[in-house]
Amino acid sequence: MAGLRSWLFCLTVIAGSLFGAKAEIKFTTPVGRLFTYELLRETFQNDFEPLTKLYGPVGHLYDDPMTFKCNEQGFPDLPEWLRFIQRHPLDNGFLYGTPTSLGKNIIEIYAVNKRSYDTTRQILVIKAVPEKMLPYQAEFFIQKREVERVLPPSVQNEIKQDLQYLWSTQDLEIVNITNALDRGGRVPLPLAGHYEGVYVKVGSETFFSKCLESVWTTVHQKQCAAGSKGKAPEGCHFCRIPSNCITWCKTELFNLAKQKPEPPAPTVGSGVLEAGGDFNPPESPPSRDFFPDYMVTVIVPLVLAIVLCLLLAYIMFGRREGVDGENAFCSIQLYHHHTVHENAEELRSMAANRGVPPPLSTLPMFNSRTGERASPLHSDSIPLIMAQQ
């Protein structure tokens, strides 16, 4: 029984390694040259296929939307030099970038089928091998392109051919392709004729052509500083496809041959320190008087605060204005109280005796202070309130 189990285990390991070996794709790419790998949805569709062959309608070809997730094995993300782009689940994805150091990168690619939510995995092994650095490099900006439209090899070739004419040499290699958005570019308006823009860097062993050298002339620099997009110099217009045309003012030349003077070799010493005198500890610094600082930072604000407190207290409690006014107000209240009281008394006496004349306050021309009243006959004014019978 145990023997059978170990046999089975061995078989699965062998099958697994065989299967794993089949799913591993190997690439060798030179350092300092552009690497591109297109994640074809078709091939991943084939990986999903066995299931659909078994259970799906016979002969039906699926074209499922897919998304990809790529990372370096054992890491959450891709290596620094490698970038991934897929615009839409119905587009192919691209891995691209320029390796900067030697070594092997193992990339895991997970594809998620957005119809069935199946996943499949591919392993990509990218081995960067040494390559001579190209001493003359130039970067061009292609305004009317998006990076995933430039990455297919056919388009890369078109662009390279134009640049070969411009450089007047066949010896030209694409070094880097970058989305302008990764270089501080803006997201374009979602309108026709607006693109993100792409930077293409090429390198060569041959020195720059006359056309390229015109970038260094003052005329060109003045034109560009004035804000124009820059026109191709006479006889240097080499783009056959309008969307591949470069923006002259964003062209930059790098002469890496000139920039690198050999650093002087470090002089190697004996490895033993020279004999010196005894160690002299530094003198302790002179003592400082902190009293003035203390005065300024603690005492002065404290005194100020106390003074302000006292001032506020004096204003709030000591100097109360309007005591007389308050008294006057009280006397008015008293007076009101008295009149109300008197009127109530009067009403009460009236209620006791119905034969009395109507209340004074209901008569016209009534002087509330003196109680004196003008005869209604001698007055030409009309009583404000009709006396009740």
Ligand X SMILES: *[C@@H]1O[C@H](CO)[C@@H](O)[C@H](O)[C@H]1NC(C)=O
Nearer to ligand X, 32 or 79 (CB): 32
98: which residues sit within 8 A by CB, 6+ positions away? Answer: 32, 33, 34, 35, 81, 175, 176
Shortest spacing between CB 143 and ligand X, in angstroms: 17
Residues that bind ligand X (CB under 6 A): 32, 98, 100, 176, 178, 182-183
Q: Which is nearer to ligand X, 105 or 178 (CB)?
A: 178
Q: Are 110 and 121 in contact (CB under 8 A)?
A: yes
CB of 129 to ligand X, least distance (A): 15
Chain centroid, CA 376 distance in Å: 90
Q: How far is the CB of 81 from ligand X (least distance, A)?
A: 7
Q: Is 193 left (phi over 0), alpha (psi -120 to 50) or beta?
A: left
Name the residue nearer to ligand X (CB basis): 33 or 237.
Answer: 33
**For residues 24-47, b (16+ Cβ closer than 10 Å) or e, as one string?**
eeeeebebbbbbbbebebeebbeb
How many angstroms separate the CA atoms of 319 and 18, rounded? 100
Q: Which is nearer to ligand X, 45 or 105 (CB)?
A: 105
The one-letter amino acid code at 18 reads L
CB of 183: closest distance to ligand X in angstroms?
5
From CA 239, how far away is CA 144, in angstroms rounded? Answer: 12
CB of 38 to ligand X, least distance (A): 19
Residue 183 or 373: the one with the smaller Cβ distance to ligand X is 183
For residue 25, the surrounding DSSP H or E stretch is strand 24-30
Residue placing its CB nearer to ligand X in the complex, 98 or 244: 98
Provide the CB-side half-sphere exposure for 68 (13 A, CA): 29
Closest contact distance (angstroms) between CB of 80 and ligand X is: 8
